[in-house]
Chain A
């Protein structure tokens, strides 16, 4: 029974990272900018968090270190996302190609600096000051579910709040209305005086910040370090969650939990008898194959923002 609680918990850990990244992707894509570079932004966030937290620990910040790591991840993620923004919004380059390039570049930069900062090591030093789980009093005592849901890392609580906040911002505020207008029909927004570029920049920078947080979550709650394989496809799975969740914060959160579960089950497979006959590689493949099946079965991109992927050229109104 305890296992179920742990399974829920591990699911939440993986889902949290996915939700952060998918929310970031949502703001970017809702404004009309495709962001394939989520993977690279997560890598950047994971890397920045590892380096910053380590340095903070060394400097004696103790349990405050992981929080510094989170902030570093946000800052570095935003900076990296600016590369994407400038290339695609100001210079109107192909958004998909630039996204892939960001992924390659982000990983290269992260590994290079890991090596040079830590004496040629391929991995950042193991972090001592990471997040520990926080219990919500009373609620933790609920059998099974309590352990699962209410004894989680701070990042999980943060992301839950963020989902609600994102929903509010996107659908209830002027900012959200304008952002969505920019992504559906940019010239409508332009002709009422809304600055299309500015909203798109904000959308992309938000994706940098949030995806960075997603990457940081992985580092600070699971691996406690950064290496070349810390982020292995989660950025793309987050994109799939975004599509499956129809670019809606609640939808993508649900989808992310589903994918997070697929990732979590890897660690628990061995515990079930029936799993002994299935080769371990199958469990490793599971999240990816599942994503593929879900994408194929989903109703397609008909709910995507209409102007997604098209650079806005005012001259061609």
Chain B
């Protein structure tokens, strides 16, 4: 299928792969600078990740929110928008789900879905604000998103503190079991790692991402506006409405990430000192994944694995787990500045084509 070829071809793999290698190298340099042993560190990371069913399960648990936030950012990028507000939309998703999960008590076949939908809507609407401001007032979506991120954090804390508080604690009352999303038999299987339905929904999300953007008329419109809003306008498309729609869909994905953190992992919501950070990691995932469905999936596995395994690095080699931030940061720096990578690869590429010509001669 030509569309598949377009969104995932050989040359588009080279830059991400090289960037990953470079990022790992820079991580190693930073470790050496701090007096640590990079080889020991990276092997400890592997051991942590694949060492036991529990760890593997928890790694999956860590990867799941990244799939959601990665799709959210990638989707927005494809439609011409930079959704940095995924962080805030994630938090609002959490809050929506927690509200339904704590305050209401309904049969499981209603309660769970209702909580999911509410959280998703919260995320979508929160993102819609950004889209609306951009479409109607031309407000730069990067700045407005960041402002809303901070606002979401404090708003969420306020809601938990004012309406949902477990007395004497810094967290909400527990979410009713009828809304929780644990997969009990899988939890047993993975040695009590926190497995939940969100992972399955996330994988479905990847498929939806592809189908929506490349197979539907709505997706055609979204991509047209993303590539060339002027031509889209001339072709009769409602650009402003499309911008808002796109942000809302993106926000729904982000919100779902938050939903499953509370419904599937924690079972409650704490008063947070800082936002969880999945949003920014989602940006990294989207960038590395080239804003493609499969790319996002693979990148989220990589970054999720790195993040989870980083505690192994501090355990096994004493390296502060923040080293992973440097590795991830460097990887996406090279992806974002792919010109640098291509420049470094030029001698190799030229040699290969020179060899090919010699062969042909």
A interface residues (Cβ-Cβ under 8 A, vs B): 36, 83, 86-88, 90-94, 96-98, 100-102, 104-105, 107-109, 111-113, 115-116, 120, 228-229, 232-233, 236, 239-240, 243, 279, 281-282, 284-285, 288-289, 291-292, 295-297, 300-301
The reply to whether B158 and A107 form a contact with Cβ atoms under 8 Å apart is no
B34 & A285 in contact (Cβ 8 Å cutoff): no
Q: Is the beta-carbon distance between B336 and A87 smaller than 8 angstroms? A: yes
Interface residue from B35, B150, B320 paired with A232 (Cβ < 8 Å): B150
A295 touches B34 (CB 8 A): no
Instruction: Say yes or no: is B148 at the interface (Cβ < 8 Å to chain A).
Output: yes
Q: Are B146 and A236 in contact (CB under 8 A)?
A: yes
Q: CA A78 – CA B96 in complex, angstroms? A: 43
Instruction: Give the contact stretch, choosing among B114-122, B199-207, B247-255, B337-345.
Output: B337-345
Contact B323 A112 (CB under 8 A): yes
B35 touches A105 (CB 8 A): no
**Do B320 and A87 have beta carbons less than 8 Å apart?**
no
B138 close to chain A: CB less than 8 A:
yes
Q: Which of B138-182 contact A (CB under 8 A)?
A: 138-140, 142-144, 146-148, 150-151, 154-155, 157-158, 161-162
**For residue A243, which residues in chain B have a CB less than 8 angstroms away from its CB?**
140, 143
- With A and B bound together, what is the CA distance between A284 and B150 in angstroms? 9
Partner of B154 from the list A100, A120, A281 (CB cut-off 8 Å) is A281
Q: Is the CB of A93 within 8 A of B339?
A: yes
Residue B127 is within 8 A (CB to CB) of chain A in the complex:
no
Query: Is there an interface contact between A295 and B144, defined as CB atoms closer than 8 Å?
Result: yes
Q: Which residues of A sit under 8 angstroms from B158, Cβ to Cβ?
A: 279, 281-282
Docked pose: A284 CA to B156 CA in angstroms = 12
Q: Which residue of B lies closest to A302 (CB)?
A: B138
- Residues of chain B touching chain A, judged by Cβ–Cβ distance below 8 Å, are 30, 34-36, 82, 84, 133, 137-140, 142-144, 146-148, 150-151, 154-155, 157-158, 161-162, 273-274, 280, 283-284, 287, 320, 322-323, 325-326, 328-330, 332-333, 336-340, 343
Residues from chain B with Cβ under 8 Å of A228 in the complex: 274
Q: For the complex, what is the distance from the CA of A98 to the CA of B334, rounded to whole Å?
A: 9
Chain A residue with the shortest CB-CB distance to B332: A101
Contact between A86 and B337 (Cβ–Cβ < 8 Å)? yes
Residues in B whose Cβ lies below 8 Å from that of A240: 143, 147
User: Which chain A residues border B329 with CB–CB below 8 Å?
Assistant: 101, 104-105, 108-109
B143 with A239: CB separation less than 8 A? yes
Count chain A CB atoms within 10 A of each CB in B143, B151, B336 and give the residue with the most. B336
Q: Across the interface, do A101 and B333 meet the contact criterion of CB distance under 8 Å?
A: yes
Query: Would you give the shortest CB distance from B91 to chain A, in whole angstroms?
Result: 13
Tell me the smallest distance from the CB of A181 to a CB of chain B, in Å: 24
Q: Give the docked Cα–Cα distance between A120 and B314 (Å).
A: 10
Other A-B contacts than A86-B340, A120-B320, A296-B133, 18 sampled, CB-CB below 8 A, are A83-B333, A86-B337, A87-B339, A88-B337, A91-B339, A101-B287, A104-B329, A108-B328, A111-B322, A112-B34, A112-B320, A239-B143, A291-B147, A292-B139, A292-B147, A295-B140, A296-B139, A300-B139
- Residues of chain A within 8 A (CB-CB) of B161 are 279, 281
Query: 21 interchain pairs (CB within 8 A)?
Result: A86-B337, A87-B336, A88-B337, A91-B340, A92-B339, A101-B332, A101-B333, A105-B329, A111-B325, A112-B323, A112-B326, A113-B34, A115-B320, A116-B320, A236-B143, A281-B157, A291-B143, A291-B147, A292-B139, A292-B148, A295-B133
**What's the nearest-Cβ distance from chain A to residue B119, in Å?**
20
Q: Within the assembled complex, what's the spacing in Å between the Cα atoms of A90 and B343?
A: 11
Nearest CB to that of A283 among chain B residues?
Answer: B154
Hey, which chain A residues are within 8 Å of B147, CB to CB? 233, 236, 240, 288-289, 291-292, 295
What separation, in Å, do the CA atoms of A36 and B145 have in the docked complex? Answer: 13
Asked if B140 and A301 make an inter-chain contact with CB atoms under 8 angstroms apart, the answer reads: yes
Residues of A with C-beta under 8 A to B284: 104
Instruction: Kindly list chain A residues whose C-beta atoms are within 8 Å of the C-beta of B323.
Output: 112
Contact A91 B343 (CB under 8 A): yes
In the complex, which residue of chain B has the Cβ closest to the Cβ of A88? B337
CA distance A304 to B82 in the complex (A): 19
**Smallest CB-CB separation from B339: which chain A residue?**
A91
Q: Report chain B residues within 8 Å CB of A282.
A: 154, 158
Nearest CB of B to A140, in Å: 36
A20 to B150, CA, bound (A): 22
Q: Is A104 touching B339 in the complex (CB atoms < 8 A)?
A: no
| Chain B positions within 8 Å of A83 at CB level | 333
Nearest CB on B from A310, distance (A): 15
The residues of A that contact B339 with a CB separation of less than 8 Å are 87, 90-93
* Chain A hits for B157, CB < 8 A: 281
Tell me whether A285 and B154 are in contact (CB under 8 A). yes
Q: Is the CB of A96 within 8 A of B142?
A: yes
CB distance from A275 to the nearest CB of B (A): 15
Max chain B C-beta neighbours (<10 A), residue from A88, A101, A120, A300: A101
**Is there contact, CB below 8 Å, between A108 and B140?**
no
Asked if B82 and A292 make an inter-chain contact with CB atoms under 8 angstroms apart, the answer reads no
- Which residue of chain B has the shortest Cβ distance to A112 in the bound complex? B322
Residue of A nearest to B281 (CB): A104
